[in-house]
Structure 1
Amino acid sequence: MTSLFSKPRALTSHITNFKTSRPVIGKLHVATLTLLLFLIAAGIAVTSSLWLNKTTKAFDRPTLVATKPEPELEPPHETGVLVNCTSFLNQNRSGSCSRTPLLNKKKPSHRPTITTIKPVPVRVSEKKSPEDTGSSVDCSSFLNQNRSGSCSRTLQSGYNQNQTESNRSCPDYFKWIHEDLKPWRETGITKEMVERGKTTAHFRLVILNGKVFVENYKKSIQTRDAFTLWGILQLLRKYPGKLPDVDLMFDCDDRPVIRSDGYNILNRTVENAPPPLFRYCGDRWTVDIVFPDWSFWGWQEINIKEWSKVLKEMEEGKKKKKFMERDAYAYWKGNPFVASPSREDLLTCNLSSLHDWNARIFIQDWISEGQRGFENSNVANQCTYRYKIYIEGYAWSVSEKYILACDSVTLMVKPYYYDFFSRTLQPLQHYWPIRDKDKCRSIKFAVDWLNNHTQKAQEIGREASEFMQRDLSMENVYDYMFHLLNEYSKLLKYKPQVPKNSVELCTEALVCPSEGEDVNGVDKKFMIGSLVSRPHASGPCSLPPPFDSNGLEKFHRKKLNLIRQVEKWEDSYWQKVL
């Protein structure tokens, strides 16, 4: 191919060929044509030179690329606190504090390298944070600082310096604390005495310098032990730094076992003194120390909430039907198959084709009720009868407080056991007494008499309900626990020590998220519901003095006389009917 630079030579070649083929052309024509060709060639050369120069300059020009200047690293923004999170994360990938230097207020001499590091995640089984539960338990700190799940590095609540002395007087039933501890008033309590109670105990509890240690011996029925310990932990949160050191054995079964007739009462010494054993109820033949039962913090197996919430629901439940609008019969709903001949006998008092004893008895099947989501077992919805029957089961029954909290009249079948508050209740003031040996006729008479004396009936129901709301509030329950443990500790003749096989227990270890299922089958939502979020503003109520000999005798005599009065009315009634 002919290039642009060879054009003049090509044109000359054509002219030569032209001259050869046309020899007759004149000299003038040849000179003119030659000049013309020269001018054309010169023009082409100049044009080519200019084009080549322009093209070469275009290739020599540097290529300009738009680039952003390298930004300068800004120092960390002021956060208002002297915490250098960047240095912490850069220097310490583990998330602990062992290699983190203390910060000062001087500016660094060079800009720190900003690096994005993801913190080490803590795997938990629950997605809710402490804020989601409404609690004041810092689970994040507990789990981050203590991966083992123990309480050894968990800060315990210190003494509340702002807690003032209470000017409240404790209810009268607090006097029974002195009576329950009377067997050890002269001898005191030795370590050997405490350890003799291990035979039937489920756990040993030691409170030492505000920390709780538990040595487990055997599993209790359901979650009684777990919720009892939870209640004690909440007591320490309510009154931090108040309780002295304590060492005790706790039996979570129903019936008391430390019989008083097995020990020398008149000439008691350290060697023949009974072992101090805590449990939920007592009777006239034993000296077990009575303590509030687990259900005050919830009974998860039958879906009963903590006592403070039940009391509020009871107040609303009572308003659904006024006393005179309620069914004018005696109501009982429960489980009769608990090795209780008395409850089985109660079934014969139900309405039949032969008799109407004014009783309406319903069997509670907890298995089927649980399958239906406990929709028909809410105790706050059972205040629809004028009269409600309380009857013991294998021993004392938790149902007592729920029955008394309704402003219906409690028909109390003669009890043989007592819990920590019921000893102070009086017939015709808080309940109507029912004979155990002839309960059907006794119930029939009670309902007939009270239906004819509705004003007195309403007074009894209202007095019992107010007692439960006022004197058995959770504040008083905690105060009873405090005074009982405090008075018990005064009897110890040794310095408690941490048991060899014990574990430390704290609130965080029970409710904070952890791998796997809830601890010991405990549903944490029941515990969270009864969590003490902060120390109480004031101290516990003032413990009343013990009964004097005459005062206690008068109390028992008054109760016995009132029961006999009702029995006389009943006997007279049936004599007229028959």
Structure 2
Amino acid sequence: MIDRHRSRGVQSTVAIFLVVLIFTALISQWLDISIVTKSLQTTNLLQDSPPHVYSDEFDCSSLNCSRISHVMTKKIINNPPPNACPEYFRWIHEDLRPWKNNGITREMVEKAKDFAHIRIVVVNGRVYTERYKKAFQTRDSITIWGFLQLLRFYPGKLPDLDFVLECGDKPVIKKRDHLRPGASVPPLFHYCGDDFSYDIVLPDWSFWGWPEVNIKPWDELKEDIREGNKRMKWKNREPYAYWKGNSKLGTARRDLIKCNASDGKDWKARLFGMDWHEEKKHGFKSSDLASQCTYRYKIYVEGVSWSVSQKYILACDSMTLIVKPRFHDFFTRSLSPTVHYWPIDEKNKCESIKFAVEWGNKYTDKAQKIGKAGSTFVQESLAMEYVYDYTFHLLNEYAKLMRYKPTVPRGAIETCSETLVCSVRGQKKRFFKHSMVKNPSNDLPCELPHFYEQGKLRDFLEMKENLTTQVLSWERSER
């Protein structure tokens, strides 16, 4: 009896020991998982809380910007160093160079507003806007919208700002009007620039959609085009140069349309004029950009000035034929001839296009490589994250030049994403909601590259000119 009781006691002790051992192991494993999980969360999320999620559902009947909570700066911790920005970010320094020495004063901005459509002011993280004249269609509203999305993408990271923007087609601050040494140049933001102006170039409205002509926001449309590219291999595409657009805008387009095949002469171009009013009547059925990547070559030609179409054309995988442009937007200055596109002689468009097509059809691998390089450039280096990063760095560098503290102008109204959404209907509202930033970025903006050393910038521009000259010499040798 005594031995049996002793045996039971030993068994009980062993059982209890095993239970304790298993429980201890489970606790240890749970703690390890908890620590690892917490570490991963700390690495990827914003300090003290997960990323703030912006709602796109709100009651428009009682909406007021002042009632919307202010999103404060949240420090991003334990993230890897930011990636280097694309090369075209270097042009930020060049565009701001006129104000590098003496800075930007309130008087300069007041002078610039004489040319502007809108003024945007940021004071303590809140946005105020003032409109001076009516812009074409809704360019001004969509531009303001894009800026508001930047503030949602990088909440609290931009300093106080005061800047004005022109929403027309052509640059307006002419260099010839400011030749006197020490002349005060009005700082004016604009969608494009040229070699004869001081306009500060920033991304245009179309990145957030162009509702009047049914062009989707860029982040959605570039994916549609990417999928469209997969439907037809490059070598199976029509072996001609394609262009479709408003042929009545600008001398270059009116001249281009003459290159259509006629009178027994085939310039290897297939050109289609388009009336946007007629397109709208028929539901934009023939203007779907994602369905226009069926030719080996696509032509870009300016209208009144630069055209927002360039990114859509480059995205097609087709070798882009660019009729020598006068104007540039914020990214195109870093494109290189025979690398990202093929240059077309503006004085001999038809002959130049014919030569380009015949060259590409003879050297298909090289032509396809050029097309792919241009497409990769806009699909990757022009992703919306970089559009926001470019605007962020441009405005941040601009703010460093300001020699005064911004205040809310008399007559300006507080503006926020929610009130802009509530002010529109139909396609405009759908595009706003689609392009609305839903979450702040978990990453820092890319790292802004240093300014061009003047010698290197000169070498880069000479290299582009030499490549273009080489192509033109090939053309002349074939005539």
Shorter-chain TM band:
0.7 to 0.9
Q: 1:566 aligns with which of 456, 461, 471?
A: 471
Deviations along 1:408-463, one digit per CA (max 9) or x if unpaired, are: 00000000000000000000000000011110111111111111010100100010
**Identity of matched residues, %:** 52
Query: Is residue 66 of structure 2 the alignment partner of residue 158 of structure 1?
Result: no
Query: Is residue 143 of structure 2 the alignment partner of residue 228 of structure 1?
Result: yes
Over the aligned positions, Cα root-mean-square deviation in angstroms equals 1.5
Q: Which has the higher contact order (CA 8 A, sep 6+)?
A: 2
Deviations along 1:188-247, one digit per CA (max 9) or x if unpaired, are: 000000111122200111011111100111110001001100000000000001000110
State the partner residue of 1:557: 462
State the partner residue of 2:10: none
Instruction: Tell me the secondary structure at the aligned position of residue 136 of structure 2.
Output: coil
Give the TM-score, by structure 1 length.
0.72
Matches within 5 A, 1:384-423: 384-423=294-333
Distance 1:190 1:334 in 2: 42
**Does the 8 A contact of 2:244 with 2:272 survive in 1?**
yes
Count matched residues.
426
Which amino acid is 2:293 matched to? C
Which amino acid is 1:377 matched to? S
Q: 1:524 aligns with which of 421, 429, 433?
A: 429
Distance 2:111 2:124 in 1: 24
Distance 1:166 1:377 in 2: 42
Pick which of 160-169 and 189-198 moved more: 160-169
Instruction: Tell me the secondary structure at the aligned position of residue 66 of structure 2.
Output: coil
Query: Is residue 287 of structure 2 the alignment partner of residue 368 of structure 1?
Result: no
Instruction: Tell me the secondary structure at the aligned position of residue 542 of structure 1.
Output: coil
**Does the 8 A contact of 1:434 with 1:442 survive in 2?**
yes
Distance 1:321 1:159 in 2: 47
Distance 1:481 1:165 in 2: 22
Which amino acid is 2:464 matched to? K
Shift of 1:364: 1.1
CA gap 1:165/1:294 in 2 versus in 1, 3 angstroms: farther
**Does the 8 A contact of 1:280 with 1:293 survive in 2?**
yes
Matches within 5 A, 1:99-110: none
Matches within 5 A, 1:19-168: 136-140=55-59, 143=61, 147=62, 149-162=63-76, 164=79, 166-168=81-83
**Does the 8 A contact of 2:56 with 2:433 survive in 1?**
no
Which amino acid is 1:478 matched to? Y
**Does the 8 A contact of 1:160 with 1:535 survive in 2?**
no
Distance 2:196 2:297 in 1: 31
Which amino acid is 2:233 matched to? K
| Structure with greater helix percent | 2
Shift of 1:274: 0.7
CA gap 1:165/1:236 in 2 versus in 1, 3 angstroms: farther
**Does the 8 A contact of 1:165 with 1:539 survive in 2?**
no
Matches within 5 A, 1:211-290: 211-264=126-179, 267-268=181-182, 272-290=183-201
Q: 1:322 aligns with which of 222, 233, 256?
A: 233
Matches within 5 A, 1:422-437: 422-437=332-347
**Does the 8 A contact of 1:135 with 1:528 survive in 2?**
no
Distance 1:207 1:282 in 2: 25
Matches within 5 A, 1:373-522: 373-512=283-422, 518=424
Shift of 1:138: 4.8
State the partner residue of 1:60: none
Q: Highest CA radius of gyration, 1 or 2?
A: 1
Distance 1:424 1:156 in 2: 38
Instruction: Tell me the secondary structure at the aligned position of residue 170 of structure 2.
Output: coil
Query: Is residue 92 of structure 2 the alignment partner of residue 177 of structure 1?
Result: yes
Deviations along 1:138-180, one digit per CA (max 9) or x if unpaired, are: 514x75xxx3x43122212111234647421100000000000
**Does the 8 A contact of 2:54 with 2:439 survive in 1?**
no
Distance 2:461 2:137 in 1: 36
**Does the 8 A contact of 1:166 with 1:540 survive in 2?**
no
Shift of 1:371: 1.3
Deviations along 1:51-101, one digit per CA (max 9) or x if unpaired, are: xxxxxxxxxxxxxxxxxxxxxxxxxxxxxxxxxxxxxxxxxxxxxxxxxxx
State the partner residue of 2:108: 193
Deviations along 1:350-408, one digit per CA (max 9) or x if unpaired, are: 01123110000101121121111111111111000000000000000011000000100
**Does the 8 A contact of 2:82 with 2:446 survive in 1?**
yes
State the partner residue of 2:221: 310
Instruction: Tell me the secondary structure at the aligned position of residue 479 of structure 1.
Output: helix
Distance 1:136 1:317 in 2: 31
Where do 5+ consecutive residues of structure 2 fail to align?
A: 1-52
**Does the 8 A contact of 2:118 with 2:133 survive in 1?**
yes
Distance 2:277 2:349 in 1: 28
Shift of 1:135: 6.7
Query: Is residue 209 of structure 2 the alignment partner of residue 298 of structure 1?
Result: yes
Distance 1:440 1:264 in 2: 39
